Structure 1
Amino acid sequence: MEDALSWGSILLRIAAQLLPVWVALIVTFALSMQFKRRLGLYGRIFDSPVGMTGFGLVMFWVFTALFADWIITHDPLAQLSGMKNIIPGSPLKDPAEGAYPWYLLGGDHLARDVFSRVVMGAREVLKIAPAATVVAFMVGITLGLPAGYLGGRLDTTISFLSNLVLAFPVILLFYLLVTPEIRVTGIPIALAAILFIFPVIFLTILFNSRFFTTPAKRNLYVGLTLLFGLWAYSGLAFNADPLGIWSMDPNMLNVFVSVVFVNSPGVFRIVRGMVMDIKTRDYVAAGQTRGEGPWYIMLWEILPNARGPLIVDFCLRIGYTTILLGTLGFFGLGVTPESPDWGSTINYGRRLLAIAPHPAVVPAIALMSLVLGLNLLADGLREESMKD
């Protein structure tokens, strides 16, 4: 049996396991710095120390999630004999042939490797938060643009429904939407049917308005959007994809739909407010004078000029969503009970803080660093977008 590792050896071995992440970060930063003047707002992040630091933290976890299968030292669900609540750097009691000989960050209450669970937990978090935030933004933008631009009863109705959702306590609303019992009511399926159609509507209107004067391109882009969009929609919302490519586990569907439903009203209000301001600008009046259609003006004149604040809000909202997902996992309402998501790992580890703090502290630091990176990135983007 191997000897226990010192903290210096533990950190060196963790750094070695994360080698693919370091290489990917170096390549990303090198290329981004080389071509930053050609990359618009993204390139200008590297002129801001705050934004660059946030970008580095975020991409560290993105690459960790991507290369998780190469980084982990053990199966994050495997329970090895004699490794329950073991301290960091402890050797395996009875290692199998070819197995990694240590638990680098110790074992949890079920004798699972904390290091591998934290690494794989990054994939669980980043699998839901960005995608759900993108869908929430498509819902908010699709509703916020006409509400702010056209006003009237449409604005009044959508604003009332938005305020109704926002008036409900967020954590309690999440708790109600993700409980397993709610699946029997069919509410998650109904919400998925409503919310998942918005990306298809958004992209269809986007291409139709842009290529309206060139029917051949318009028909091609709109046709492809409807073909692939409705195919994905049938699988994700109703699990009716005949090829089985698009599907979502019921637990994940609950969480995903809940994130979209809770975030969409906030995005709607931001977009609506910005549109009400921008629509009074001279270039919008010029577009109206040229005879451009309302959707063209909204999507191709107004929306690009609102991109700075929306990109900043997008980064912040991913951070909020990450915290909410951690909170759900902490309450045992995550994707699956055995999931290595950070919230569940913190929940399991908190009961042993007095005798073995590492199962809870390590995922808590991981969660904090990702959210910190997103906040710093948002600050950097805000700083650079204000220079336009």
Structure 2
Amino acid sequence: MTMAETVALTSIKKEKKKEKTFIVITKRLLKNKLAVAGLIIIALQIAMAIFAPFITFHDPVKQNLNLSELPMFSENHWLGTDNYGRDVWSRIVYGARISLIVGIVAVTLGLIGGVILGMLGGYYKKLDGLIMRIVDLLFSFPGILLAMLIIAILGTSLINVAIAISIWSIPTCARIVRGSVLSIKEKEYIMAMKSLGASDLRIMFKHILPNAFAPIIVFATMRMATAILSTASLSYLGLGAQPPTPEWGAMISQGQAFMWTSPHLTIIPGIAIMLTVFAFNVVGDGLRDAIDPNMDIQ
């Protein structure tokens, strides 16, 4: 059998194994009750974000001081209103859209930067030392303080929050990808591709990266929880969403002055943050358990 035939046969076997592995991982994940509950919560959040105009009946930023601080289950305002008379339900629903968008953008940018640095560091020994020192430098800053520093330089806005969180995500992602690349690049089929004259870019992004997806997916899922919580924290501190943007952290900040008279202004967005972070964390844990390499795939 020629070298080309060996590589082709190996590729076919890999594809079949990937398909079988995906089915097994899905079955394992669905057996995890907490992960299933998390998936349901995430699905509901996404549905809220997409269909926000159809499931709300009030403008989330429109003020009506005659209806300020209405309690929960009031007529036409079932979650009440805030101190400016804005409907809390509408602000929670549109806040889900903001949190998910900022989280997705931040995690995506972090993955792009982390994957590129991790791939280069893991594949090229000459670049590994330099890249890992840059990663170590980023690790030397506490994450939230690094994000605050970046926002202080760039200015307060949700776009800058997403950029700050993405930069914060890069070093962890780079470390994860580098570890996978160091392991995968020594496999026989990678050596075979090199002997056939395949370019480094082709090997890295067509043969190594797809086999490193499992830890990347787990990282991305759990990082979404961190990104959403960080967005809320920065907005609470006044460094993210600015009034009257309906963002959960900003809602908590604005509502804490009315904690004794209208506690729902703080409790409801707090519950929204808690449920969303919980959902992404348990799904991430479930994925990690489902793709545990120590578990035999039948």
Give the TM-score normalised by the residue count of structure 2: 0.85
Q: How do residues 26-175 of structure 1 correspond to structure 2 at under 5 angstroms?
A: 40=23, 43-44=26-27, 45-91=29-75, 102-152=76-126, 154-175=127-148
Give the TM-score normalised by the residue count of structure 1: 0.66
Q: Does the CA-based 8 Å contact 2:65-2:84 persist in structure 1?
A: no
Give the 3 Å change call, closer, same or farther, for CA 83–333 of structure 1 in structure 2.
Answer: same
Q: Does the CA-based 8 Å contact 2:228-2:277 persist in structure 1?
A: yes
Deviation (angstroms), 1:167 = 0.7
Output the CA distance in 1 between the equivalents of 2:194 and 2:22.
Answer: 31
Corresponding letter in the other structure for 1:173: L
Deviation (angstroms), 1:39 = 6.9
The residue that corresponds to 2:221 in the other structure is 315
Match of 2:245 among 327, 330, 339: 339
The residue that corresponds to 1:381 in the other structure is 287
Corresponding letter in the other structure for 1:49: K
Deviation (angstroms), 1:283 = 2.6
Deviation (angstroms), 1:333 = 1.5
Does the residue aligned with 1:351 lie in a helix, a strand or coil? Answer: helix
Deviation (angstroms), 1:134 = 1.2
Corresponding letter in the other structure for 2:59: D
Q: How do residues 112-261 of structure 1 correspond to structure 2 at under 5 angstroms?
A: 112-152=86-126, 154-179=127-152, 182-183=153-154, 251-261=157-167
Output the CA distance in 1 between the equivalents of 2:269 and 2:20.
Answer: 37
Give the 3 Å change call, closer, same or farther, for CA 292–46 of structure 1 in structure 2.
Answer: same
Output the CA distance in 1 between the equivalents of 2:58 and 2:20.
Answer: 43
Deviation (angstroms), 1:343 = 0.4
Q: Does the CA-based 8 Å contact 1:50-1:379 persist in structure 2?
A: no
Output the CA distance in 2 between the equivalents of 1:373 and 1:58.
Answer: 6
Does the residue aligned with 2:66 lie in a helix, a strand or coil? Answer: coil
Output the CA distance in 1 between the equivalents of 2:124 and 2:21.
Answer: 36
Corresponding letter in the other structure for 1:126: L
Give the 3 Å change call, closer, same or farther, for CA 84–379 of structure 1 in structure 2.
Answer: same
Q: Does the CA-based 8 Å contact 1:37-1:43 persist in structure 2?
A: no
The number of aligned residues is 275
Q: Does 1:349 align with 2:242?
A: no
Output the CA distance in 2 between the equivalents of 1:89 and 1:79.
Answer: 19
Which segments of 5 or more consecutive residues in structure 2 lack a partner in the other structure? Answer: 1-18
Give the 3 Å change call, closer, same or farther, for CA 107–42 of structure 1 in structure 2.
Answer: farther
The residue that corresponds to 2:188 in the other structure is 282
The residue that corresponds to 1:263 in the other structure is 169
The residue that corresponds to 2:201 in the other structure is 295
Deviation (angstroms), 1:253 = 2.8
Corresponding letter in the other structure for 1:90: S
CA RMSD of superposed structures (Å)? 2.2
Output the CA distance in 1 between the equivalents of 2:251 and 2:189.
Answer: 52
Runs of 4+ in 1 over 6 A off after TM superposition: 36-39
Give the 3 Å change call, closer, same or farther, for CA 70–266 of structure 1 in structure 2.
Answer: same
Deviation (angstroms), 1:47 = 4.2
| Residues 157-189 of structure 1, C-alpha deviations (whole Å, 9 max, x = no match) | 11111111121122222222223xx34xxxx8x
Deviation (angstroms), 1:312 = 0.6
